[in-house]
Amino acid sequence: MAQQSTETDWVSRFADEVIAEAERRAPGKAASGASAPVIVCASGLSPSGPIHLGNLREVMTPHLVADEIRRRGHEVRHLISWDDYDRYRKVPAGVEGVDESWAEHIGKPLTSVPAPAGSAYPNWAEHFKAAMTEALAELGVEYDGISQTAQYTSGVYRDQVLHAMKHRADIDAILAQYRTKKAPAKKSQKPVDEAELEAAEGSGAASEDDGSGGSAGYFPYKPYCGQCEKDLTTVTSYDDETTELTYTCTACGFGETVRLSEFHRGKLVWKVDWPMRWAYEGVVFEPSGVDHSSPGSSFVVGGQIVREIFDGAQPIGPMYAFVGISGMAKMSSSRGGVPTPGDALQIMEAPLLRWLYARRKPNQSFKIAFDQEIQRLYDEWDKLEAKVADGSALPADAAAHSRAVRTAAGELPRTPRPLPYRTLASVADITAGHDEQTLRILGELDPANPVTSLDETRPRLDKAEHWINTQVPADQRTIVRDEPDAELLASLDDQGRESLRLLLDGLDEHWSLDGLTTLVYGVPKVQAGLAPDAKPTPELKVAQRAFFALLYHLLVGRDTGPRLPTLLLAVGADRVRKLLGG
């Protein structure tokens, strides 16, 4: 049974490629039922600190492709390799429960570093993994998590380690071809500024990652010290026959001779470790950050090492572009100033976040909005939902929507009654999260079909509320006046007074979101002697803007605010009358 290409979006095209590659590797099996091999897609995450929201692309890209392959009926494994046996490089700034004393652990495996004070988790890696695991569950990402600490220390890679040591001269020769070309060392995506900072600091990651050797020659393996647990060790001799390895530690002076065939406290250097795992797991698809497109990148070097040393194949590995964050407020950055996927999921629903990744090709960069832009994004999403519902969405847009709202396993939870995010945000802004008041206002938005319980509007309501509370600066919050602005009311001319009277006279009759919209736009029309459905002229627009500004001043003491119909509903008819001098 050959797979037809649907060719609707980038996910489908990669799924086509990955299935074809899996078939090429195991001819006739990939699409033929029970004996078909499982198709492996992979991601790698380093729990070296709070996992940056930008790194979610490392997971979402293979997730979406794996999910499409699963939808077509193939068996897929999406591996997430937790690179928790990596060395602890530096103490991230501003993480709660962590101070400079953590610097003494630099050089140990991430799983040997104590968790931040007060953590419920046994070590550093587990602590930061937990937050990511929770976010992935909410996002509907199905995966097999693999702890590299567990893999290495249980000896799962013993044969691969011995093989790499045996062929160290060949590995060294391959690496030598690239050594003059400077390249970023690690695969994981980092925020641009951090990557630049590390490059400027000359962090030494590049040399440590390919395992350049000392006077005894090159070794692609680094033991963690038996006394201080750090990786500041130098292999001084190795015997291929007996697998006896001797190392000394430059940090504490400890040294010992071990038998590598039964010693499991160390790891292959990154540039050898990654291709080893491609071969070991049979990875067919694994993307990496765009900083790996350079000639000496670990993806390129790994391609040669996996073929020539491990007799395996390089995965299909698109480079993905950076994902930026717009306008994350300082106040919510309690975890080292790093926006995490968990932070995003507090202000937006999982389908929306999935959609941001699904609709852009991996090589396109984009920003995740924590600022006002999130309201426009939600408007766009709601329009797409409407188009999908009436069948007018373009195929690629419909595909992205489908990937956002469901996986092969089923539908993601949705808000039963998805009111506009900007309306919910305005209501939350004005009511300061007061439930009774919120229900009163939401119930009046559409009197013909009133909201009767806040649960209908959740979780979107909660996300909008959280956004208002954590991301909108105090000076942009809406504070409804307690007392009328007597001075402003007294200064109005006849036309100003007349506009307020027209509005107040129409309030009862127009008390709904649609009704009030008609009313606030209609008052200036009536004053200009135009029909209520008249096309706006430039003069009329000027009059409308002036009228709106007057209302904002009288209601909230500013030039602008939430959309007026929402604001009027939120303030309530009695208080509107009082503040407008009625």
In the complex, the smallest distance separating the C-beta of residue 269 from Zn ion, rounded to whole angstroms, is: 18
Nearer to Zn ion, 111 or 160 (CB): 111
Interface characters, 227-266, with Zn ion (x: CB under 5 A): xx--------------------x-xx-x------------
Nearest to 79 by CA among 277, 340, 290, 289: 277
Record the tokens describing residue 478, joined without a space.
């809406």
User: CA 437 to CA 373: how far, in whole Å?
Assistant: 26
- Give the largest CA-CA distance in the chain: 102
Query: 120 to 159, contacts with Zn ion by CB under 5 A?
Result: none
Nearer to Zn ion, 228 or 442 (CB): 228
Alpha helices, DSSP H only, in 49-138?
A: 56-71, 124-138
In the complex, the smallest distance separating the C-beta of residue 127 from Zn ion, rounded to whole angstroms, is: 24
In the complex, the smallest distance separating the C-beta of residue 359 from Zn ion, rounded to whole angstroms, is: 50
In the complex, the smallest distance separating the C-beta of residue 111 from Zn ion, rounded to whole angstroms, is: 17
In the complex, the smallest distance separating the C-beta of residue 325 from Zn ion, rounded to whole angstroms, is: 39
Interface characters, 96-115, with Zn ion (x: CB under 5 A): --------------------
In the complex, the smallest distance separating the C-beta of residue 13 from Zn ion, rounded to whole angstroms, is: 50
User: CA 59 to CA 80: how far, in whole Å?
Assistant: 8
Nearer to Zn ion, 102 or 378 (CB): 102
Nearer to Zn ion, 157 or 224 (CB): 224
Quick check: 55 and 188 in contact, CB under 8 A?
Answer: yes
User: CA 193 to CA 199: how far, in whole Å?
Assistant: 10
Nearer to Zn ion, 227 or 452 (CB): 227
Choosing from 15, 60, 225, 350, the residue that interacts with Zn ion (CB under 5 A) is 225
User: CA 566 to CA 264: how far, in whole Å?
Assistant: 64
Nearer to Zn ion, 254 or 521 (CB): 254
Nearer to Zn ion, 252 or 507 (CB): 252
- Stretch near Zn ion under the rule CB under 5 A, chosen from 71-79, 98-106, 224-232, 270-278: 224-232
Quick check: 344 and 352 in contact, CB under 8 A?
Answer: no
In the complex, the smallest distance separating the C-beta of residue 256 from Zn ion, rounded to whole angstroms, is: 10
How many other CB atoms are found less than 10 A from the CB of residue 468? 23
Nearer to Zn ion, 251 or 432 (CB): 251
In the complex, the smallest distance separating the C-beta of residue 264 from Zn ion, rounded to whole angstroms, is: 17
Q: Quick check: helix, strand or coil at residue 316?
A: strand
Q: In the chain, how many H helices and how many E strands?
A: 23, 15
Indicate the burial class of 21 (C-beta count within 10 angstroms; 0-12, 13-18, 19 or more).
middle
Distance from the Cα of residue 228 to its chain's centroid: 36
Record the tokens describing residue 117, joined without a space.
């004070």
- Stretch near Zn ion under the rule CB under 5 A, chosen from 105-113, 225-233, 454-462, 463-471: 225-233
Q: What are phi and psi of 568, to 5 degrees?
A: -60, -45
In the complex, the smallest distance separating the C-beta of residue 112 from Zn ion, rounded to whole angstroms, is: 12
- Stretch near Zn ion under the rule CB under 5 A, chosen from 49-57, 154-162, 221-229, 556-564: 221-229
In the complex, the smallest distance separating the C-beta of residue 110 from Zn ion, rounded to whole angstroms, is: 17
Nearer to Zn ion, 223 or 317 (CB): 223
In the complex, the smallest distance separating the C-beta of residue 204 from Zn ion, rounded to whole angstroms, is: 18
User: CA 152 to CA 509: how far, in whole Å?
Assistant: 73
Residue 211 DSSP code: T
Beta bridge mates, 267:
222
Nearer to Zn ion, 252 or 388 (CB): 252
Q: What are phi and psi of 148, to 5 degrees?
A: -70, -25
Antiparallel, parallel or unpaired: β 244-249 and 233-238: antiparallel
- Stretch near Zn ion under the rule CB under 5 A, chosen from 87-95, 220-228, 292-300, 460-468: 220-228
- Stretch near Zn ion under the rule CB under 5 A, chosen from 29-37, 226-234, 298-306, 373-381: 226-234
Nearer to Zn ion, 79 or 249 (CB): 249
User: CA 560 to CA 265: how far, in whole Å?
Assistant: 63
Nearer to Zn ion, 186 or 267 (CB): 267
User: Of how many residues is the chain composed?
Assistant: 582
Nearer to Zn ion, 112 or 160 (CB): 112
Buried-state track 400-412, b at ≥16 Cβ within 10 A, e below 16: bbbbbbbbeeeeb
Q: Distance of CA 338 to CAs 51, 53, 55, 93, Å?
A: 8, 8, 11, 10
In the complex, the smallest distance separating the C-beta of residue 87 from Zn ion, rounded to whole angstroms, is: 13
User: CA 317 to CA 301: how far, in whole Å?
Assistant: 13
In the complex, the smallest distance separating the C-beta of residue 202 from Zn ion, rounded to whole angstroms, is: 24
Size of the site for Zn ion (CB under 5 A): 7
Give the footprint of Zn ion on this chain (CB under 5 A).
Answer: 225, 227-228, 249, 251-252, 254
